[in-house]
Structure formats: C-alpha cells, structure tokens
Homo-oligomer: A and B are copies of this chain.
Amino acid sequence: MSLTPPTLPLAGKVSFEDVKDIFSIHLGENNLRRTPERYAILEEIYRRSDHFDAEALYIHMKNSNYRVSRATVYNTLELLVNCDLITKHQFGKNLTQYEKSYGFKQHDHLICVDCGKVIEFCDPRIQQIKSTMGEILNFKVLYHDLNLYGRCKDGCKSQSK
C-alpha cells in the first residue's frame, strides 16, 4: 500500500511555468483571451496549498496583490477545471472546494465529521473499481470522487472546520 504523501509533487516534474503553459495552450485552443486576471488567479492557486473555495480565493486576492471580481474568479475556476489544472470537490456541504491538481498524485479524501479536517490518501483499488464498473456498465469513466467520513481515534479538538 502506497503511503507517499499525495500532496507532494511528482519528483522533479512541476514548475509554475509548466502550469502556465498548459493554461496558455488551453486558452489558445479554445479561442479564449489570455488576460492578466486569469494568470493571476492561476498563480495564486498554485502558490496556495490545501483546499480552498471560491470566496476564500477572492478574499485572499482582494487583500493582497491582485484585485479581481467574484465573477472573474468563478469564470476562471471553471476554465481551470476544464483543462485539469484544478479539481472540484464537495466535502458533504453545499460549498464547492477546489485543489490544484497538475503534477500531483491522484488521491482521495478522508474527512473528520467532528472538526472538518481533510486528510488525503491513495489506494490503487479505486482504479480497479473504476475499470471494472466501466466495463460492466458500459461507461467510459472519466473521473471520480471518493470521500470517507469518520472520526479521528486520537480525538480532535472538535474545532468547527
């Protein structure tokens, strides 16, 4: 069972330039404009760690280096999802959360129902489930979302989120 921390980039493979290039190409291929806002949002996301939601990203940008509108944030997040530079999740709440995904191992999430902490893990058996089920049900499985919900045996401080 692999326990390589999923958040560690694949060895020596990732630079922000790569990510920017991918986005650039994606924009070009879809006749979308290369605006400074779009690159600034991408850069902010790849500077951040962890999971974030649109509002948090908006506030963070507003308070720091760059000023963008909420509309642009939402718009850009969708573009980045489309070219697989970020992935979208919902950890049991009606709030969309994102995380950067280029150059990171595929992984799933374990969420503490007490404190909301999110832990990442890898288990190759999920790939087997995807291929078996795709075959049996005659689907091309594109992606998946697996969340385990539970309680920390050590006991967490039950701090809310």
Out of B125, B139, B143, B149, name the residue touching A143 (CB < 8 Å): B149
Residues of A61-120 whose CB lies within 8 A of B:
88, 90, 92, 94-96, 110, 112-113, 119
Whether A159 sits at the interface, judged by CB under 8 Å, is no
Contact A94 B92 (CB under 8 A): no
A13-21, A31-39, A128-136: which lies at the B interface?
A: A128-136
The answer to whether the Cβ of A145 comes within 8 Å of any Cβ in the partner chain is yes
Interface residues of A in 111-161 (CB under 8 A from B): 112-113, 119, 121, 123, 125-126, 128-130, 132-134, 136-154
A3 contacts the other chain (CB 8 A): yes
CB atoms of A136 and B92 under 8 A apart: no
Most chain-B Cβ atoms within 10 A of its Cβ — which of A112, A150, A151? A150
- Chain B residues with CB under 8 Å of A121's CB are 133, 136-137
A8 in the interface (beta carbon within 8 A): no
A1 within 8 Å of B by Cβ?
Answer: yes
Q: Is the CB of A145 within 8 A of B113?
A: no
Total number of A residues with any Cβ neighbor in B under 8 Å = 41
CA distance A77 to B121 in the complex (A): 31
Q: Give Cα distance in the complex from A139 to B114, angstroms.
A: 12
Q: List 13 A-B contacts (CB under 8 A).
A: A3-B136, A90-B90, A90-B94, A110-B137, A110-B141, A121-B136, A121-B137, A123-B133, A133-B148, A139-B148, A140-B151, A142-B149, A146-B147
